[in-house]
Structure 1
Amino acid sequence: MELPVFSQLESLGQGSGWEPLEFPKIDEHSRYELVTEDGTQVVRADTNGGASGMITRLDVQPGDSLILRWRWKVSNVFEQGDAREKSGDDYPARIYVAFKFQPEKAGFFERAKRKTVEVLFGESLPGNALNYIWANTLPEGETVPNPYTEKTMMVAVNSGNERAGEWVTVERDIVADYRRAFGEAPPPLVGIAIMSDSDNTGETATAWYGDISLSTE
């Protein structure tokens, strides 16, 4: 399960394995670029009142265990950040893990809405998602529903400014986290994204993302 690693990329964008992830009605995008930190190439993300990400598309059956590892660093958290409120649904850094949509578990109106998206935009929306976030006030280790949709669960793996400015390494079992969040085994993994966003709070932050890896051990 090799992901395209930032330390070895020649560029970001189409053809690199990491493509822009943008959202309707959000015109201001975060900026992502390859930079060198302590001799290693990483991605620097700058957000200033906007939102967008970089995503790598996957098709991975999680199995009994699937370990996601990465390291990241943030300049600061957002003063108005609050994972429980729409107005505070911004994070200087997050890892977005998207799972395949399961139509057999969706209602008629949701299936119809997704079909419309496919017809208009030529792409399928993912299903449930886990977001690993560097939170402001949500305690480290806590999981809450996203204030916009219960199909996305927010997992605080870091919280507050105490470790801002230093590299932090994170390791999570996606399967265990999905079971805990949604009460069932996860469907196939369809994408992993990095995202630094501040469209709700209007604040400013910089994040750095190191290589991300997936393994069964």
Structure 2
Amino acid sequence: MPGLIFFCWMLMLPIACAGEENWVGRFDGADTAVPAPWRLLQLDKHVAATQYRIRLWDGVPAIEATADSSMTLLARPVEVDLSLTPVLCWSWRVDAPLINADMAKKSGDDYAARVYVAFKLPPSMIDFITRAKLGLARTIYGDAVPDAALNYVWDNRYPIGTYRPNAYTDRTRMIVVESGAARAGSWVSERRDLLSDFKLGFAAEQGEVTLLAVASDTDNTAEKARAGFADLHFVSREQPCAIR
């Protein structure tokens, strides 16, 4: 292990070596704006923006998201070697699930809380038709449109474990990690094997994580929601999550 640590230090890699957590969302709890490298990512300029800030929430330093008929991702670039640290850990909370959302419909594609991970795929894994569709989407929404994405959501309707394409695009998979109001109002810790979820969703062995985002999303249902996100990090399959 000392040799491995020295090797990582010498390379000065921005990704974790085996046995180390790769933190992407750890905050100090001060009541302030969200610091860089986090930034707002608004794909549709005609939709109101969800509001974000850093706060201490029941003793947990966290991102607070407040949505009112709104949708904006709070995103940051990520470098992670999924062969070393394929497991994504985080804590989140919602005041309440949405009422009228339904992930099977475009009109209901809203979530009190969601954790979004974007991937870049090798060109050989994207067929001509898909490349054309992605090109059109990027013409409309910009380069933030990924080759593929996973969304871990706190849903109101579908059971935990539901795994399905997004209502708008089959380049995004929706995974229900929490559902309903039973655990609303308190912090809940999660652990997902991101690499396994990616392989299941896209039948692919390779994919480079490029971006991680959180959101409270209510633009389609015109509802209000508040959510919190904390302690986002990657670990190996053998490691426990390092959630406070």
Normalising by structure 1, we get a TM-score of: 0.88
Rounded Cα–Cα distance in structure 2 between residues aligned with 1:95 and 1:105? 24
Partner AA of 1:8 in structure 2: D
Alignment correspondent of 1:139: 159
Q: CA deviation at 1:124?
A: 5.6
Unaligned runs of 5+ in 1: none
Structure 1: how far apart are the matches of 2:25 and 2:172? 25
Aligned to 2:111: 91
- Counterpart position of 1:40: 60
Distance 1:121 1:194, change over 3 A: closer
Distance 1:113 1:5 in 2: 32
Q: Which amino acid aligns with 2:155?
A: A
Residue 51 of structure 1, CA deviation: 0.3
- Please list the CA deviations of residues 51-94 of structure 1 after superposition, one character each: whole Å capped at 9, or x if unmatched: 00111102333227601000111011111111111111000100
Mapped to 2, the partners of 1:203 and 1:157 lie a distance apart of 21
- Quick one: distance in 2 between partners of 1:18 and 1:85? 30
| Paired residues of 1:102 and 1:127 also in contact (CA < 8 A) | no
Q: Find the aligned partners of 2:50 and 2:178 in 1 and give their Cα distance.
A: 21
Cα 1:83–1:32, aligned 2, differ >3 Å: closer, same or farther? same
Tell me which amino acid in the other structure corresponds to 1:199: D
Identity %: 32
> Does structure 1 retain, via aligned residues, the 8 Å contact 2:101–2:108?
yes
**Alignment CA distance shift 1:76-1:119 (3 Å):** closer
Q: Indicate which of 21, 28, 32 corresponds to 2:41.
A: 21
Distance 1:120 1:138, change over 3 A: closer
SS state of the match for residue 228, structure 2?
A: strand
Q: Which SS does the other structure have where 1:111 is aligned?
A: helix
Unaligned stretches of 5+ residues in structure 2: 1-15, 17-21, 238-244
1:63 aligns with 2:90: no
User: For the structure 1 residues 56 and 109, does the alpha-carbon distance in structure 2 shift closer, same or farther, using more than 3 Å as the test?
Assistant: same
TM score, norm. by length of structure 2: 0.79
Q: 1:65, 1:176 within 8 Å by CA — same for their partners in 2?
A: no
Q: Distance in 2 between matches of 1:124 and 1:104?
A: 20
Residues 144-153 or 100-109, more deviating: 100-109
Residue of structure 1 equivalent to 2:201:
181
TM alignment of 1:55-204, pairs within 5 A: 55-63=75-83, 66-108=86-128, 110-111=130-131, 114=134, 123=143, 125-204=145-224
SS at match of 2:200: helix
Deviation at 1:179, TM superposition (A): 1.5
Runs of 4 or more above 6 Å deviation: 116-122
Structure 2 residue matching 1:172: 3-state secondary structure: strand
Of 227, 230, 244 in structure 2, the residue corresponding to residue 207 of structure 1 is: 227
C-alpha deviation, 1:5, in angstroms: 2.9
